[in-house]
């Protein structure tokens, strides 16, 4: 059966979710919720019924699985050890051709998992607006140009994933104009001086990380 198109999809990972109220607000007005394996434990904690749980199911408690089975959540067991649970969840999300994907629970005490989840942004079609969000951070990947709407004095860091050609940004405390930079250069702890910031580059990929105090 052909999948119905979904405009906005949320993926819940197995990372840390501290501010439940903040995260539940992000789940309002979404078309589909997918848990990446142990993300189901976070969904249960937030009293959210996901549409799908996908992964090898080694991180989801048996009680949580039984609870969601009872509530008609579709459970997909996939033992592909060449892909992380987050990669499987992203592939499932992309099969619905969404315009937007929000990823929650992607940041946690396991640095290896956190880094892998962040780098998964590079696996998502650039036409899909995608953000990793928690109560302290917003992370997104840019390979062309991006307008950022934020608050004055909000911290913003630029971390290249490749060599970059023609990097420019406006609306920040420290500016760059048409700068070529090598992988390994970091633009850490800049600040917004306007509510709208424009970032552009001619070639390459970089992460934009906004940090809330």
Residue pair 151/197 in contact by the 8 Å Cβ criterion: no
Residues 47 and 151 in one domain: no
109 within a domain of the structure (yes/no)? yes
Length of the chain equals 213
Of 134, 160, 194, the position where a domain reaches its end is 134
pLDDT, position 3: 61
Residues 167 and 130 in one domain: no
Per the listing, tokens 């991006």 go with: 146
Which tens digits make up the pLDDT trace of 179-210?
999 999 999 999 999 889 999 999 999 999 99
| pLDDT(12) > 50 | yes
Over residues 127-175, the pLDDT tens digits come to 999 999 999 999 999 999 889 888 888 999 999 999 999 999 999 999 9
- Mark whether 126 and 147 lie in a shared domain: no
Burial of 135 (0-12, 13-18, 19+ CB in 10 A): middle
> How many domains would you assign to the chain?
2
The tokens for 31 are 């078309």
Q: Chain-wide mean pLDDT for the chain?
A: 93
Q: What is the pLDDT of residues 99-117, one digit of tens each?
A: 999 999 999 999 999 999 9
CA nearest 169: which of 189, 198, 202, 147? Answer: 198
Do 36 and 107 sit in the same domain of this protein? yes
Q: Which domain holds residue 207?
A: 142-211
- Reply yes or no on whether the pLDDT at 2 is more than 70: no
CATH number at residue 61: 3.40.50.10240
- If asked whether residues 43 and 129 sit together in one domain, one would say yes
Same domain, 148 and 112: no
In tens, the pLDDT along 78-93 reads: 988 889 999 999 999 9
- Clarify whether residues 126 and 184 are in a common domain: no
Are both 35 and 97 inside the same structural domain?
yes
pLDDT at 4: 66
Is residue 110 located within the same domain as residue 164? no
pTM over 0.85: yes
Instruction: End-to-end CA distance of the chain: give it in Å, rounded.
Output: 46
Give the gyration radius of the chain's Cα atoms.
18
């Amino acid at each position: 059966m052909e999948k119905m198109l979904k405009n906005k999809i949320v993926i819940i990972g197995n990372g840390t979710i501290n501010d439940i109220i903040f995260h539940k607000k992000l789940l309002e007005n979404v078309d589909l919720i997918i848990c990446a394996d142990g993300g189901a434990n976070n969904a249960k904690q937030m009293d959210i019924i996901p549409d799908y749980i996908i992964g090898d199911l080694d991180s989801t408690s048996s009680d949580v699985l039984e609870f969601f089975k009872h509530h008609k959540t579709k459970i997909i067991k996939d033992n592909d050890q060449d892909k992380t649970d987050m990669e499987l969840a992203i592939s499932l999300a992309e099969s619905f051709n969404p315009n937007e994907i929000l990823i929650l629970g992607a940041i946690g005490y396991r640095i290896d998992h956190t880094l892998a989840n962040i780098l998964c942004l590079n696996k998502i079609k650039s036409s899909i607006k995608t953000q990793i969000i928690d109560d302290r951070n917003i992370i997104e990947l840019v390979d062309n140009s991006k307008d950022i709407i934020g608050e004055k004095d909000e911290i913003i860091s630029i971390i290249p994933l490749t060599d970059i050609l023609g990097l420019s940004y406006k609306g920040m405390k420290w500016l760059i104009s048409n700068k070529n930079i090598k992988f390994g250069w970091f633009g850490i702890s800049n600040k917004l001086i306007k509510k709208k910031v424009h970032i552009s580059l001619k070639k390459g990929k970089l992460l934009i990380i906004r940090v809330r105090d």
